[in-house]
Every structure is written in structure tokens, then in C-alpha cells.
């Protein structure tokens, strides 16, 4: 006979089983809480510690052609554990790839550990706001009424189940979408072992801060010497102000990788001019690697949109030589005679013996002189970087009274070996002073001068110069013959 089991027999000691079930449920709940705590706390936002330009304790600017290296020292009051450093008041034109955040031990009692750094550019534009608001309820403004609609895509709206296309009016967005910022921000996540004050160094490159050399010179009456003043002209269109910065400018050609440009371009604004120089002060350049560095003697403050000039060179007795120059090629005057005015050139001797003798960064040179006390502008030219003890030329324009003519007088082909050509050059000086004339001719291939009625000099392998002195109201003619050997 099959034995029937009672309820008590089937479950056996029900109270003990109930207690065990309660223990199991408690253990499961505790395990779930243990597993969920990290997930819940991981979503907790970290505290933000913000820094503005008023927190900057020191700033350095190394200014190059077209950009500047900026180093800022900022102080933060850090909590224990992890926090987010927020660097505000930075330039709009920063290069995000150049940003470095370096916690420092000196100047504070906490040296946090840097975990990550981030850059976010200013992103409030019509397109960004529209894209971030897709799917939201907006209001279309039509004269004196507003229509509720849902934004489906840029220019596409849903109104009461119908789709509106091509709306050109104003749209009201319900607040600024999350993730958009008015100004660029740099943030860094750091971890501090304990709460306290910390000094953090922020460095980056920014465009919109640049410098140029600017020279003004006054030619003496006898045209043998001039006074020259050099200015460092610094401009700031970076989108930020720099105050009381330790600054220097770097002269020389620094190699930069082409085609890798920051997408954040500076806003160009009207420049305000601010002169700041003393005529007697000079800044002696210092060598750094293969460049010349000009440390500015005073802390530099650059307002946004400002252009500032700082004097670094003043010399009253710089020796110059005035010359009249013709730049012709070997083929000039071959078919038809050529006639033109001479260029007026000033050759400047950059030596200590001649009253100068220092590295000169590239820039614009303006030349003036005075006639009966009135200031006159003679011309301007640009110079490349000029090393010490290297002369340079300034082209001031075309002469009014010095004319040159060139024509080919003889020609002979040398089969496949080359050719020979003779030329005649006439220089007319209609001035009341002597004219030192230089005729420069560019040749091609393997050339040699067979004969010349005036002295000449090979200044390069492809350029020859003939020099002559032409008296007042004199016409002087010279001839020369050239052989071109074909290879």
C-alpha cells in the first residue's frame, strides 16, 4: 500500500526551513547591495574646482612668428580624493594638442596626481544648438504668435502630426542644450592624497599672439650714415588678455609641421595701438639653440586686440652706402634695347666698426630724412633675419635721375657648344651728385666673361656685378662680352 505523506512530513521541520530561507534572502540582498554600490557611486559627479585669470600667480610668454607658448601658474584649493580642475579665461585660438597640465609641489602643500586632461572649444553656434535640440519641443515665431512644434531635423518641424518644411522664421529653443559652452575650457581630473592648496602649471600654444621687427631710420644729409631704431611690435588677437607676463620674443625660423592646424581660429578685431619704448634702451639678444631670444625688460600686459611696440635697438651712427642698381638677366636687351630707371639701394654694414654689429630679426624698415626741418619719407623695405657682421640692402624705390640702357651688339652661335654675345650699357646720371652704379646680370649655365671695359665681380655662380662711378650730368658707356657653354 502506497504511503501517504502529510504536509508536515513532506516539508519536515518547517520553522527551521523558514529561518534558513530568511538567511538566504538576507545574504542575497547584501550581495546585491555590495555589487550595486560601485555602480551607484561611479555615476556620482566629481567636485569641480574652478580657476579664473585672477588665480594666475605667474605667467610666461615666448612669442614666435604667428603664435606664442604660454605658461601659467595657477593655485587651487583641492579636496581630498578626485576632483576636476577647470581652467577658465583661456584663448579662443589655443592648440588643443599642445596643452599640458603639470601639478607642482612648490608653492603649495599638495601635489595631486593627474589622471586625464580635456579641452573643449567654444561651441555656441546656430548649428550646434539646433543639432543638440533635435527631438525637443520648440516654438516657431510668426509675427505676433508662437506655434508649438517638435524639432525633427534642421529646418524640419512636426506640428499636430503634420511635417513643416522650409520654415525661415525665428525659432525659440527651450534653454541652452547641455554640453555647449560659451568660452573654451581646459579641464583636468586630479587625485589628491589630502585636502590643501596646490600650484598647477598649465602650458599651451596659441595663435593670434605674434611679433614683428619694425625699424625706423633717419638718413643724414650727406647720405653716409643714418640713425636707426628697432621696435618689437607685438599683437594680440588670441581671445584672451595676458597681464604682467614675463615675456621674450624668439627670432629665427622654427620648423613647424604643415597641414596640422588647430580648427579653432582667432576672431580678428580692430587693433588698438599702444606705444611702449624708451629710445635709450637696448635689448641684447641671447642665444638659445639656433635662435636669438630677446627678453623684454619689463613685465608685459597685452589687452585683447592690442598692438604694442617695445624699443630694443637705438643707434645714431650706422654706416651706409648709397648705390643705384640695375637688375638684368643675360637675355635682357637681346632683341630690343631695354631702358629703365635705377633702383635706389642703401647698403647697411652690420658691424661694430660701422656702428651697428648685432643680430637683427626680420621686419619692416622705413627710411626718413629732413629737408629744412621737415620730415620726409624716402621709402621702405623688408629685411630677413640678419646675422651679426652680415651686410644687407634696402630698396627705397626707383631713381628719378639715373637711367640705364642695355642692348646686344654682337652674337655668335658656337654650334652645339654654346654661344657668345657682346653687350653695351649706357648709364645717364642727371643728378648734381656722383652716382655709384651697380649693374647686376643673372646668367644661366656655365658662363665666363671674355672681356669687360669696367671692373666686375662674380657675387654668386649665376650672378655678376659691374661697378662704375658716374659723374654729375654724365653719360658713361661700358661694354662686355660673355660666352655661354652648353653642357
pLDDT of residue 216: 92
Say if residue 471's pLDDT is above 50.
yes
3-state secondary structure of 449: strand
* DSSP string for residues in 242-298: EEEEEEEEEES-----TT---S-PPPP-PPEEEE---TT-----EEETTEEEEE-SS
Q: Can you give the pLDDT at residue 289?
A: 42
Average pLDDT over residues 65-87: 89
Is 406:371 a contact under the CB 8 Å cutoff?
no
Residues 190, 83: Cα–Cα separation, whole Å = 6
Q: What is the pLDDT of residues 341-390, one digit of tens each?
A: 999 999 998 888 888 888 888 889 999 998 888 899 999 999 988 888 88
Nearest to 253 by CA among 380, 347, 387: 387
pLDDT of 66 reads: 81
Burial class (CB in 10 A: 0-12, 13-18, 19+), 39: exposed
In this structure, the number of other CB atoms found within 10 A of the CB of residue 143 comes to: 6
DSSP string, 357-396: -S-B-SEEEEEEEEETTEEEEEEEEEE--B-TT--EEEEE
Query: pLDDT for 297-320, tens place per residue?
Result: 889 999 988 998 888 888 888 899
Entry field: residues in the chain: 487
The mean per-residue pLDDT over the stretch 287-304 comes to 74
pLDDT at residue 106 greater than cutoff 80 = no
Percent of the chain with pLDDT over 70: 78
Query: Contact at 8 Å (CB) between 481 and 446?
Result: no
pLDDT higher than threshold 60 for residue 222: yes
Reference 322, options 344, 353, 295; nearest CA is 344
Q: What is the rounded distance in angstroms from the CA atom of residue 429 to the CA atom of residue 341?
A: 10
pLDDT given at position 92:
81
Q: Residue 267 pLDDT more than 60?
A: no
Q: Phi and psi (nearest 5°) for 230?
A: -110, 135
CA distance 161 to 152: 12
What are 12-68's pLDDT values in tens digits? 444 444 445 454 555 555 544 444 444 444 445 889 888 888 888 899 999 888 889
DSSP SS3 for 25: helix
Closest CA to 189 of 74, 101, 90, 97: 101
Rg of the chain taking only CA atoms, in angstroms? 39
pLDDT in tens, 145-197: 888 888 888 878 888 878 888 777 788 777 777 665 556 778 889 999 888 88
Q: How confident is the model at residue 125 (pLDDT cuts 50, 70, 90)?
A: low
Higher pLDDT, 32 or 443: 443
Give the per-residue pLDDT at 347: 92
Task: Indicate if the pLDDT at residue 325 is higher than 50.
Answer: yes
What single-letter DSSP state applies at residue 89? Answer: S
Integer Cα distance of 307 and 209 in angstroms: 10
Nine-digit cell string for 184: 573654451
Q: Which three cell numbers stand for residue 454?
A: 669696367
pLDDT, tens digit (0-9, with 9 covering 90-100), for 385-418: 888 888 999 999 999 999 999 999 999 988 778 8
SS3 call for 18: helix
Contact present, 211 and 232 (Cβ < 8 Å):
yes
Average pLDDT across the chain, whole number:
79
Give one word for 152, left, alpha or beta, with left for phi > 0 and alpha for psi -120 to 50: alpha
Average pLDDT for 441-466: 90
What pLDDT does 121 receive?
64
Amino acid at each position: 500500500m502506497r504511503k501517504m505523506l502529510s504536509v508536515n512530513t513532506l516539508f519536515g521541520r518547517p520553522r527551521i526551513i523558514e529561518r534558513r530561507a530568511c538567511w538566504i534572502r538576507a545574504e542575497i540582498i547584501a550581495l546585491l547591495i555590495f555589487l550595486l554600490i560601485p555602480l551607484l557611486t561611479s555615476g556620482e559627479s566629481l567636485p569641480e574646482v574652478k580657476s579664473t585669470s585672477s588665480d594666475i600667480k605667474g605667467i610666461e610668454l615666448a612669442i614666435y612668428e604667428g603664435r606664442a607658448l604660454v605658461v601659467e601658474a595657477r593655485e587651487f584649493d583641492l579636496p581630498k580624493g578626485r576632483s576636476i580642475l577647470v581652467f577658465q579665461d583661456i584663448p579662443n585660438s589655443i592648440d588643443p594638442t599642445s596643452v599640458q597640465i603639470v601639478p607642482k609641489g612648490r608653492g603649495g602643500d599638495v601635489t595631486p596626481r593627474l589622471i586625464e586632461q580635456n579641452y573643449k572649444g567654444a561651441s555656441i553656434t546656430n548649428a550646434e544648438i539646433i543639432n543638440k535640440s533635435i527631438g525637443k519641443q520648440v516654438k516657431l515665431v510668426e509675427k505676433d504668435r508662437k506655434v508649438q512644434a517638435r524639432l525633427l531635423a534642421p529646418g524640419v518641424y512636426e506640428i499636430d502630426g503634420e511635417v513643416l518644411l522650409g520654415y525661415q522664421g525665428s525659432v525659440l529653443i527651450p534653454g541652452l542644450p547641455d554640453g555647449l559652452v560659451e568660452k573654451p575650457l581646459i579641464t583636468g581630473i586630479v587625485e589628491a592624497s589630502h585636502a590643501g592648496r596646490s600650484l598647477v602649471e598649465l602650458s599651451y600654444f596659441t595663435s593670434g599672439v605674434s611679433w614683428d621687427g619694425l625699424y625706423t631710420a633717419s638718413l643724414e644729409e650727406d647720405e653716409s650714415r643714418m640713425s636707426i631704431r628697432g621696435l618689437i611690435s607685438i599683437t594680440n588677437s588670441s581671445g584672451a588678455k595676458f597681464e604682467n607676463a614675463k615675456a621674450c620674443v624668439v627670432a629665427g625660423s622654427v620648423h613647424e609641421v604643415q597641414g596640422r592646424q588647430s580648427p579653432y581660429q582667432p576672431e580678428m578685431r580692430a587693433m588698438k595701438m599702444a606705444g611702449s619704448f624708451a629710445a635709450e634702451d637696448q635689448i641684447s639678444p641671447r642665444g638659445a639653440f639656433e635662435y636669438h631670444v630677446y627678453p623684454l625688460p619689463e613685465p608685459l600686459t597685452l589687452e585683447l586686440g592690442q598692438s604694442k611696440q617695445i624699443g630694443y635697438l637705438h643707434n645714431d651712427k650706422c654706416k651706409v652706402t648709397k648705390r643705384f642698381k640695375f637688375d638684368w638677366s643675360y637675355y635682357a636687351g637681346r632683341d630690343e634695347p631695354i631702358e629703365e630707371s635705377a633702383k635706389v639701394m642703401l647698403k647697411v654694414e652690420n658691424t661694430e666698426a660701422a656702428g651697428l654689429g648685432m643680430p637683427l630679426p626680420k621686419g619692416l624698415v622705413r627710411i626718413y630724412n629732413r629737408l629744412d626741418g621737415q620730415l620726409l619719407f624716402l621709402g621702405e623695405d623688408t629685411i630677413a633675419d640678419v646675422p651679426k657682421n652680415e651686410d644687407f640692402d634696402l630698396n627705397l624705390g626707383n631713381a628719378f635721375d639715373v637711367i640705364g640702357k642695355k642692348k646686344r651688339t654682337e652674337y655668335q652661335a658656337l654650334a652645339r657648344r654654346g654661344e657668345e654675345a657682346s653687350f653695351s650699357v649706357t648709364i645717364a646720371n642727371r643728378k648734381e651728385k656722383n652716382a655709384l652704379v651697380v649693374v647686376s646680370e643673372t646668367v644661366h649655365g656655365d658662363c665666363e666673361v671674355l672681356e669687360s671695359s669696367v671692373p666686375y665681380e662674380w657675387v654668386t655662380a649665376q650672378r655678376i656685378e659691374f661697378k662704375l662711378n658716374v659723374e654729375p650730368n654724365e653719360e658713361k658707356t661700358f661694354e662686355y662680352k660673355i660666352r655661354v657653354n652648353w653642357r
